[in-house]
Amino acid sequence: MIKVTDLHKKIGQVQALNGLSFAAHNGTITGLLGPNGAGKTTCLRTLFGLLKADSGSAEIDGLNVVSQSRQAKQQLGLFPDPCGLYERLTPREYVQFFAQLNGMAGKDAKDATDEVLSLLKMQDIADRRCQGFSQGQRMKTALAQAIVHKPTNIVLDEPTRGLDVMSTRVLRDLLLMLKQQGHCVLFSSHVMQEVAALCDQVVVIAAGRVVAQGSPAELCLRTGKTNLEDAFISLIGTDEGIAA
Amino acid sequence: MMNLFRTLFRKELLDASRDKRSVMAGLYYALGTPVLMCLLFSVLLKQLSASDELLISIDNADAAPALVQYLANNDIRQGEGADAKAIRLAVSTDFQQQLQQGRPATVIIDADRADDQLRTAIQRLERELGRYNSEIATLRLMARGIDPQLMQPIDVQMQDQATPDSRGGTFLGIASLSIILTLFYAAMNLAIDTSAGERERNSLTLLLSQPLSSLQLVLAKIAAIACFSMLGLVVILLVSKFAYGMVPWQQLGFNISLNTDFMLFTLLVGLPLALLSASLQVMVSFVAKSFKEAQTYVTMVLLVPVALSMVTTYNIAPEYLQWLPIAAQQQAMIGFLKGSAIAMPQLLVSSLLTLAIFAACSYASSRLLKSEKVVFGL
């Protein structure tokens, strides 16, 4: 479970987060939806402890990300944007490295790596260096890294960018499987279809604050629109920066 | 704690060792420098031991046949062409007359003293003229029945303590300089790649989001880079051993031979320097905002070890410099090669200082990684 409370963060002259509060629960896929520059990435970076909030707090499974950062981070799997691959390592080495960083011992890390590589159907590229990978292969590698240590909470920053239909389906199935297993899945996106198809809960962000939270159906109902896209536009009051 | 460090260290080693270009760029220095030095030394030695004959132009030589004969006996002759030095010795027209009357007879040396290539030749000419001077003076005193020893109130005797090996001071300095600087050049590209490069490839933020402390991360990076520095040191020592073996040292009566003891000694005193080198360059690269900026800054910072090593090589270091990192270690290496006593207090103090700087730079880097500005290169 991920919970952020009244986050404020100013970056340069921009008030990136302005009293942001929401919660994402276990066994649920929560979508962080907002136009470009709404504060999605800033919010996620604060969650990873990369940025320090000016005020407010973020908790992962009840652990404060600042004061109990190491324990909190162990409960967290990250799929960042950009992917942050090591071009000179193979996916197997890369994924195993992150498994070990998250406290898995040699043998366990190796088994977990094998498992996640076959789960994502990556055996054919597992021992090739990441240099020259296609966007889809990069995304899969990053995804494997995020879930290899089986964290309770999985955070994905724009996970569908650049994926072809096949890969998008793999990702979708994977997220649903994680949800079934009781994980808390939080992802940021500005792609309506993705959010509408996957999310149980949608948190709509604009200008650093939550403007609405609820299931896609609830949001449509509340705004009197028939689809999420129209509901979203009506909620944030502009159609700027939204991909169909 | 240790497991995390080991995981990080292994990954850094693996990643760096696959970065063939950076590794080779560092090793080219270690491979090439001794060969270059070997050629340089050979040319220098050839120049130093070149034929003893000094050709100059002598004006009005007929006026001083005895002087010209004396100089010729000491291989200083009238000559022309490419071998002749640009030194003109002008004998005054009344030279013979003045000499006969026991008055100073003038000769003029016309040459450019600022010309380095002429300096030793001019000194040699002056020395021979001085000897001729005192020879004539001695004869004159004897002719007047005076003991010429009266003219020599002090008898200066030089007892040369120099052993053949200790004579090659500058050569030893240059050789040890090239060896010590490997620790810095072999690390340069890797240090920039693992810090500024890692940030530019966006993997730094992902790493820092993992449950680890930034100090562990920094130390693992430094340890991996230091390994490559030490590899460079081993390579340059081995190549130097063979390259310097081919220089015709015997012409100068000394020898630079890098034996196993010296190599082990150098690896020992070099280890703290490798840590300093890696931590310093990593810190500077993190301070820089981009890869290119890091390259510029690191190159600038590397002037400091070069300068420290230079003043040691040319023996122009003030006393306190001999206590500083790099200078003291190099001094110890030169001492070891010369077979003279090694200044242990200086070496110990500077090694401790070296480790202190390593600790300070590592800590500073770990602090830098807590700054949003540094991590995102803002």
Q: What is the pLDDT of residue B283?
A: 95
Domain boundaries, chain A: 1-75+152-244, 85-150
Which residues of chain B fall below pLDDT 70? 1, 48-51, 160, 162-167, 252-253
Chain A: give the shortest CA distance to residue B360, in Å: 23
* CATH fold of A1-75+152-244: Rossmann fold (3.40.50)
Contact B232, B30 (CB under 8 A): yes
Inter-chain touch B209–A83, beta carbons under 8 Å? no
Chain B: give the shortest CA distance to residue A119, in Å: 22
Residues from B in contact with A at Cβ < 8 Å = 3-4, 7-8, 11, 14-15, 18-19, 201-213, 372, 375-376
Q: What is the 3-state secondary structure (H, E, C) of B314-339?
A: CCCCCHHHHHCCCHHHHHHHHHHHHC
| Nearest residue in chain A measured CA to CA from B208 | A50
- Name the nearest CA neighbour of A98 among B375, B1, B210: B210
Please list every residue in chain A whose beta carbon sits closer than 8 Å to the beta carbon of residue B375. 50
| Average pLDDT rounded to a whole number, residues A168-174 | 85
Q: Answer yes or no: is pLDDT of A242 > 60.
A: no
| Nearest residue in chain B measured CA to CA from A84 | B203
A172: which 2 tokens?
Answer: 């979708």
Inter-chain touch B7–A74, beta carbons under 8 Å? no
Inter-chain touch B18–A73, beta carbons under 8 Å? no
- Name the nearest CA neighbour of A142 among B226, B209, B288: B209
Quickly state the pLDDT bin for A238 (edges 50, 70, 90). Answer: low
Q: How many CB atoms lie within 10 A of CB B274?
A: 28
Please list every residue in chain B whose beta carbon sits closer than 8 Å to the beta carbon of residue A98. 210
Quickly state the pLDDT bin for A226 (edges 50, 70, 90). Answer: confident
Inter-chain touch B3–A100, beta carbons under 8 Å? yes
Please list every residue in chain A whose beta carbon sits closer than 8 Å to the beta carbon of residue B213. 70
Name the residue among B4, B15, B209 with its Cβ closest to that of A49: B209
Please list every residue in chain A whose beta carbon sits closer than 8 Å to the beta carbon of residue B23. none
Taking the C-alpha atoms of residue B2 and residue B193, their distance in angstroms, rounded to an integer, is 24
- Name the nearest CA neighbour of A9 among A51, A58, A68: A51
Name the residue among B8, B14, B375 with its Cβ closest to that of A93: B14
Considering only residues 50 to 69 of chain A, which have any Cβ-Cβ distance to chain B shorter than 8 Å? Answer: 50-52, 69
Chain B: give the shortest CA distance to residue A48, in Å: 5
Inter-chain touch B210–A49, beta carbons under 8 Å? no
Taking the C-alpha atoms of residue A179 and residue B267, their distance in angstroms, rounded to an integer, is 56
Contact A155, A79 (CB under 8 A): yes
Question: For chain B, how many residues are written?
Answer: 378
DSSP result, B139-197: HHHHHTT--GGGG-SS---------GGGGGHHHHHHHHHHHHHHHHHHHHHHHHIIIII
Considering only residues 176 to 205 of chain A, which have any Cβ-Cβ distance to chain B shorter than 8 Å? Answer: none
Inter-chain touch B210–A102, beta carbons under 8 Å? yes
Longest CA pairwise span in chain B (Å): 99
Q: What is the pLDDT of residue B12?
A: 94
Taking the C-alpha atoms of residue A103 and residue B308, their distance in angstroms, rounded to an integer, is 44
Q: What is the pLDDT of residue B32?
A: 92
Inter-chain touch B15–A89, beta carbons under 8 Å? yes
Taking the C-alpha atoms of residue A65 and residue B210, their distance in angstroms, rounded to an integer, is 12
Interface probe, candidates A76, A97, A155, A157, chain B, greatest B C-beta count within 10 A:
A97
Helix (H, G, I), strand (E, B) or coil at A148: coil
Q: What is the pLDDT of residue B51?
A: 58
- The alpha carbon dihedral of B216, B219, B225, B227 has a sign of negative
Q: Which H/E stretch holds residue B271?
A: helix B260-287
Quickly state the pLDDT bin for A244 (edges 50, 70, 90). Answer: very low
Separation in Å, CA A61 to CA A67, A187, A202: 13, 17, 20
CA angle, corner B233, sides to B230 and B234, nearest 5? 90
Q: How far is CA A143 from the centre of its chain?
A: 10
Chain B: give the shortest CA distance to residue A144, in Å: 14
- Name the nearest CA neighbour of B355 among B261, B245, B271: B271
Please list every residue in chain A whose beta carbon sits closer than 8 Å to the beta carbon of residue B376. 50
Please list every residue in chain A whose beta carbon sits closer than 8 Å to the beta carbon of residue B11. 86, 89, 93, 97
| Nearest residue in chain B measured CA to CA from A73 | B211
- Name the nearest CA neighbour of A41 among A157, A209, A210: A157
CA atoms in the 13 A half-sphere facing the CB of B144:
9
The more confident residue out of A107 and B252 is A107
Taking the C-alpha atoms of residue B60 and residue B73, their distance in angstroms, rounded to an integer, is 19
Separation in Å, CA B353 to CA A211, B218, B349: 58, 20, 6
A130: which 2 tokens?
Answer: 């990441």
- Name the nearest CA neighbour of A228 among A182, A206, A195, A203: A195
